[in-house]
Copies of this chain bind each other. A is one copy, B any other.
């Protein structure tokens, strides 16, 4: 879950201050009806998991595809899913299917990551 404060912080750091993310009045006049998260902020959960949990230190992020299927809203809970679909033990690489689902199991985003792990980068 990301808060409106997180979205404001993301907009500040990245410079993407499109009002659909920040302005409740503007957002209410759009098809989304309320502020939506930046797609890249939602996708950052993949970066967080690879960078801190799986595999954590020693990760090198090689690629990520992202399909933004449905909007993600602030203050709503989402689940991120990771499925290892291929491991190359020689190259220390893995291909991982990544997706985010809303609590009513609707896909908001999917894609595929390629990551490498080195003992100590």
Mark A residues whose CB is within 8 Å of B. Answer: 2, 6, 9-10, 12-21, 29-32, 38-41, 43-45, 47-48, 51-52, 56-57, 59, 61-68, 118, 120-121
Contact = CB atoms under 8 A, between A and B. Distances in A.
Contacts of A67: 62-63
Question: What copy number does this chain have within its complex?
Answer: 2
B57 A47 contact: no
A74 to B, nearest CB: 12
A24 to B, nearest CB: 15
A13 B9 contact: yes
Contact of A66 (B20, B65, B120): B65
A120 B48 contact: no
